[in-house]
Amino acid sequence: MPVSLGINGFGRIGRLVMRAALDNPDATVVAINDPFLSLEYAVYLLQHDSVHGKYDKEIKIDGDYMVIGDVRIKFFAERNPADIPWGDSGAEIVCESTGVFTDIAKATEHIKGGAKRVIISAPSADAPMYVMGVNHETYSGAEILSNASCTTNCLAPLVKVIHDEFGIIEGLMTTVHASTATQLVVDGPSRGGKDWRGGRSALTNMIPSSTGAAKAVGKVIPELNGKLTGMAIRVPTADVSMVDLTVRTEKPASKEAMNAAFKKASEGSLKGILGYTEQEVVSQDFVHDPRSSIVDAGAGIHLNEHFHKVISWYDNEWGYSNRLVDLALYINSK
């Protein structure tokens, strides 16, 4: 039986998690909750996507259900997670993708509605974080867990390969990140009013920003805690981002040896999660790529055998959404 998912928050990630789940024969979606959308508007947003294209399946409305083929998806519009009847709709695992209920106390409200487990589609201050291919096998039955961030999902597989093969002394990461829904089209007050640069126009600026993605790697690979940090630069593109990781390694490594390690992992233990390319690629080449991280072998530079810069691409929307579905499938099997 496919795992039955509920989705709370039908924004960018919520809609793409739904597409990814319905593309996966081992998953389905049985319920959606979003108090800020009508069912008709939710259908419209699912059908039309400026980045990933028009949805290729016919969608019908039957009362308060969205119907896609033989899949019937109940639509709710509750503001309080405890009031969403996930259990009645058959949702076993809830994707919490509002960006609001990101700690254990808040996300646990979904359990009151009948959900068995909740995956938060963002970093969490206190819920355990899992990155597929890196630490997912340490899952031990938590009801509330986090799929980390899209950038951590790109960075952590890179770090794992380097650390396993050569050892990491320390490192700095910069993600050159596509614009997201938190940004403004024209200059204005940023959300919360604290990040003044974040309120500047996403259309016309490269915007330095903070990110906890590198530090979060220390939570999924504990021996690297305190050895990595990083920042983001938001750029005026709609999708696809790029991690620039600079590390000092314990063991000597040539460019060829490091690329060989990435290539081996991409074809073996991290197949489908880590990619590897020697082609002359740019960001648009990775739109709708389902992998978490794709190493650009030709873009990396190496000052000496202990000091390296690695470049890796990721579709920060589609790759992340596919990993969330993969994580749901994994924990459902336990």
- Write out the catalytic residue numbers: 150
Provide the pairing of β-strand 93-96 with 301-304: unpaired
CB contact at 8 A, 93 and 117? yes
Contact 159, 152 (CB under 8 A): no
Return the SS3 of 261. Answer: helix
For residue 318, give the nearest of 99, 28, 36, 12 by alpha carbon.
12
Token digits for 69?
């083929």
Q: What are phi and psi of 21, to 5 degrees?
A: -65, -45
Q: How far apart are CA 225 and CA 247, in angstroms?
A: 14
Triad 178, 182, 183: Cα angle to 5°? 65
Q: Which two tokens stand for residue 170?
A: 């320390």
Residues 6+ apart with CB under 8 A from 110: 6, 8, 81, 82, 84, 86, 94, 96, 101, 118
Say which residue the tokens 């106390």 belong to. 105
Would you say 1 and 88 are in contact if contact means Cβ atoms under 8 Å apart? Answer: no
